[in-house]
Structure 1
């Protein structure tokens, strides 16, 4: 990506996607959602970046990157499980089938990694050895590959709450899903992760971990929702440099939300302290990371389109048929 071109377009940020003409607005951490009368949902990916259960900043073109990356993966995995996609009327927008979201988030991990309070690395460093129903041996190193991918479910925090770690037994004991649903969820998640790791390896990447959100449709069928294998929902490392960096005890090269997470963690405790303003150069550099992620993951070029004014105005024009 031409950094001069990116800086010149850094003002094209979508930090809010409120559209009064659309009904039933729900604002999530990153996406604005509208439920339509025909049973579909308009999902607009903004440029907000969320971590540590808070909004940190707005990154130019991030919403477009997320939508188009998820589109690539939805199309690559449609043979594994059904997904919610109906149409893409705008680069930042997907219209999907409205689902009843299941109250458990499925996180699949292939490595002892992470920076959040619920990551296996954070918990391991605190001395915990049994997490999410899985027992880890002593002596593991940061960012070490696990013997096989594991599922680490968390409670789905609605209305801005905190996700909480769960074991599979707790998922079932709390009645969050039925045993049959849990069996389907885990089978889907592990198959999706395997496909993601395979495709990532073909691009010189390692898919380290990811989260999936599932819901049920009007028939009770389990359907993949939200996003899949994007830089927001997943951690990617560069495969070529991982062995040497791991051997040296260095952090693997990545291009996901860790770029911003690490900047914040180096300056405060994001769960307790105010987060300092993120400088413009970090914002632009983060935008470049997201665009590079899209291009590397998909093998496609990211083109910055003509400046048509406010991003939200363009989206409203493209959604005119839904209003």
Structure 2
């Protein structure tokens, strides 16, 4: 098994503090900069799995970088540089405490709620007579409150967000506008690759009002297999008509494996054992995801000493 990066403890020049998220480690630096390390940790049902997935961090970081460059004409983002395959450096922002989830199709969490008889999700109506993986008449935005590590994100309606003062109405309308524009562009990019962007989530922050005017920017990842669900376009209609499962490109395959092994992140449940062979198949699926989503061949970075490589590349960038 190749080496993986599970945790970090860097001491970068001008470092002020570090935050350990579910998958990313975020270093706050001087001069209003953030440095984000994408680890190989795998999170499912808001639980971090005990083993890392080889090259996963590199894959997520490189997809997110490419997608930010492909959408920066529509929505400003935080990104300044990517000095290492696992590292992104950008402008420090105050994150909004909501994730903007947008769904073009009735899949995943929406389908599970629908099967349970619910026809409202985050205050948005879902039409009667739909079956799993059907396309919504138009994409729906179903926000979630951002959880701290280990806690579950929670569905929330636009009305509750405004009523609780989590986001101002002016800012929230901008978030919705940006979310729809990004999803439209993401869907177009996916279509060019023979894929369907089924659903995804975006995270936004506000830049420093004094140095950068307090503008809303896209942060974190975008259109990656961890934040998005993709179907293969070829055969979609046939599979729907025959009531067959869709061929997916997302980490849903990991969730399904966990469900089959009696784990959904519920209290008292134990994460099932993941063999090296299974971990290897997950890594191969992530590489397949990368190549299909970007249309480019994946080039494996040197993982003989990932920590040393990252430190060297970051120090070289700052010099």
Structure 2 SS opposite 1:48: coil
Number of matched pairs = 309
Deviates more, 1:229-238 or 1:151-160: 151-160
Match of 1:81 among 75, 85, 90: 75
**Could you tell me which residue of structure 1 aligns to residue 273 of structure 2?**
277
**Could you tell me which residue of structure 2 aligns to residue 16 of structure 1?**
7
For residues 301 and 150 of structure 1, the distance between their equivalents in structure 2, rounded to whole angstroms, comes to: 33
**Could you tell me which residue of structure 2 aligns to residue 4 of structure 1?**
none
Deviates more, 1:288-297 or 1:20-29: 20-29
Match of 1:311 among 279, 298, 306: 306
Cα distance, 1:161 vs. partner?
A: 2.3
Structure 2 SS opposite 1:189: helix
**Could you tell me which residue of structure 2 aligns to residue 32 of structure 1?**
25
Structure 2 gaps of 5+ residues are none
**Could you tell me which residue of structure 2 aligns to residue 294 of structure 1?**
290
1:93 and 2:87 are equivalent in the alignment: yes
CA contact (8 A) 1:235 1:256 kept: yes
RMSD over aligned CA atoms reads 1.4
Q: Deviations over 1:237-266 (max 9, x none)?
A: 111022222222222111211121111011
**Could you tell me which residue of structure 1 aligns to residue 254 of structure 2?**
260
Q: Deviations over 1:264-288 (max 9, x none)?
A: 0111132221111112222111111
For residues 266 and 241 of structure 1, the distance between their equivalents in structure 2, rounded to whole angstroms, comes to: 26
For residues 203 and 78 of structure 1, the distance between their equivalents in structure 2, rounded to whole angstroms, comes to: 20
Structure 1 gaps of 5+ residues are 1-9
Structure 2 SS opposite 1:182: helix
The ranges of structure 1 where at least 4 consecutive aligned residues each deviate by more than 4 angstroms after the TM superposition are: none
Give the TM-score normalised by structure 1.
0.92
1:156 and 2:139 are equivalent in the alignment: no
1:245 and 2:239 are equivalent in the alignment: yes
For residues 199 and 240 of structure 2, the distance between their equivalents in structure 1, rounded to whole angstroms, comes to: 17
Cα distance, 1:232 vs. partner?
A: 0.7
Give the TM-score normalised by structure 2.
0.93
**Could you tell me which residue of structure 2 aligns to residue 5 of structure 1?**
none
1:53 and 2:53 are equivalent in the alignment: no
CA contact (8 A) 2:263 2:272 kept: no
Q: Deviations over 1:60-103 (max 9, x none)?
A: 00000001101110010001110000111100000011100001
Q: For residues 123-142 of structure 1, what are the structure 2 equivalents within 5 Å?
A: 123-142=113-132
Deviates more, 1:27-36 or 1:266-275: 266-275
Q: For residues 116-195 of structure 1, what are the structure 2 equivalents within 5 Å?
A: 119-195=109-185
Cα distance, 1:123 vs. partner?
A: 1.1
Cα distance, 1:297 vs. partner?
A: 1.4
